[in-house]
Structure formats: C-alpha cells, structure tokens
Amino acid sequence: MKNIQTHVCIIVLVMIFMIVGCGSGSSDIQFPFSSTDSYSMKYTDAVEQLREAGFTNIETISKATDKEDKDGIIVSVMLQTGTDITRTHTSFTKTSKFPPDSEITITYYKYEAPALEAEEPQTLASESSSEEDTEEAADSNSLSSLQIEYAKAIAQRECDKYLSGAKYPKSGYNVGRFDDKGSIYVYTDQVELKTLDEKQMLFFVFTPASEDFDLMTNVTVHYLSVGDKAYVDDGYSADFFQHFKSDGRLSF
C-alpha cells in the first residue's frame, strides 16, 4: 500500500513540475530593441527584427506626414499580451520578454506631398478664367490659360531683375504669340513704380526653350521695356511697335 502511495505521489509531483514549467513564462521571447530605440528606426527594420526573434502577430499602421525625411520612421510600438487592457505595453527595454503571440502594433510615418503643390496649377488656371481676364484669353492665339499665367509670371520675374519694388496688376494684360517662330509677347499699361506717379507700360517678348513651357523652362528674352526705358533689346523685336500697330491689337 505504501508503494502505491509513493508511486502516486511521484506521478503527481512530476505532473505539477510539468504544468509549472509550461506556464512559468519560460517560452517568452526577449524583445530585440527598446521603445526608445524604436523612435529612430524604420518600421520595415523593426518588423524584420521582431520576426527573426520569433514574434508572429505584427500589425503596421501608417500615419500621414508632409515631411519627406520622416517617411517610414516609427511613431510608436504597442504590445498587448492578453485581452486585458492593463496588459498593454508602450515602454520596454531590450531585456523585456513577452509571449511570441503578443499583439504588436507599429505605427509609422508615411510621406504625402502637400495638397497645395497639386492644386497650384488649377488655381492659376481658374484665376485666368475670371471675368477680368477675358481680354487676355481672347488674345491668347492658341496659348492655354496656364501658359498665359506662366508668361505673365516670367515677364514679372525678368522685370524684377532691373526694377526694385515694381507692382504688377492682377489683370489687364495682353498675352499671345508674337510670331510663328515660338516667341510670345506680354503687354500691360498698369505697372506701378516707386519713382513715378503714373502707371507705366510694360512690353516683353521672349522665346521659351520648349512649346510646353512652364516657370522652370529656360527662356530667351528679346525685348523688355518699362515706360520709356528699354532694359533688353537684342534686335529680334526691332519692329515691335509697328508689329502691334499694324496688327490692330494694341493702340499707343
């Protein structure tokens, strides 16, 4: 009888050791990085390290940013080791250990270009289609509304090289093809100068490097004058005034 009791005790003790051994947390895995280190890591590197360590339940969530240098950088790492919210961890060290099936959520920055960059051309186009700019569009000679705005901006940019503090009108321009060789003219009589009380006439002729030009396209300036002073004249527009008088588009 004593032998049977002894064997039963031994079996019970063995089972207890096995149960304790399985539930003692000995299967927990050491975390490969600390929460502090994670803030300078790429989320792809973090996911790779976690998988190599043995963690199996990893989720990634993106958070929009307009800072390109933040793209892919981790915002936060959160672990949940059970259904109880008190078992959620956001602070840990490289010596911390967690079960391999812990729910790990990594939030990271994802770069998205500012909306303003995409909308700017539309803003220019819509501005040029206003009632004040009807005259400009009518005289465009196949120039698009956007190219008209680019031509005006290029004229102002070139004027600023010679004139300080000049003020340009928002409307009241004549913009179009100067000839059939690709050159373009810009004219307005509404330029304000600090040194003069009366508004001055601006004449500008240029040739863009490509037919589909924009503000970044290289241009060749042929003629630029404000008031009675010509700042650029390479001879290309020698008949500039006669050209517009005979054409009937401008009277001066």
Exposed, middle or buried by CB within 10 Å (0-12, 13-18, 19+), for 223? buried
Give 178's contacts (C-beta < 8 A, 6+ positions apart): 184, 185, 205, 237, 243
* Percent of the chain's residues with pLDDT above 90: 22
Q: Looking up tokens 């089972």, which residue turns up? A: 15
Residue 131's pLDDT is 46
Helix (H) or strand (E) holding 216: none
Is 50 exceeded by the pLDDT of residue 23? no
Q: At 207, list the tokens.
A: 């040739």
Is 60 exceeded by the pLDDT of residue 7? no
DSSP letters spanning 27-42:
T-EE-SS-HHHHTTSB
Cα 41-42-48 angle, rounded to 5 deg: 100
Task: Give the model confidence (pLDDT) of 109-148 as tens digits.
Answer: 999 888 765 445 444 444 444 444 444 444 445 788 888 8
Residue 59's pLDDT is 94
Give the mean pLDDT of the chain.
77
Task: Give the model confidence (pLDDT) of 191-214 as tens digits.
Answer: 888 887 888 888 889 999 888 787
Give CA–CA dist 155/174, Å, rounded: 12
Q: At 17, list the tokens.
A: 């050791």
Least Cα distance to 98 among 40, 54, 60, 45 occurs for 54
Give CA–CA dist 32/113, Å, rounded: 33
- What are the structural domains of the chain? 27-111 (3.30.10.20), 115-247 (no CATH)
pTM of the entire structure? 0.43
Exposed, middle or buried by CB within 10 Å (0-12, 13-18, 19+), for 53? middle
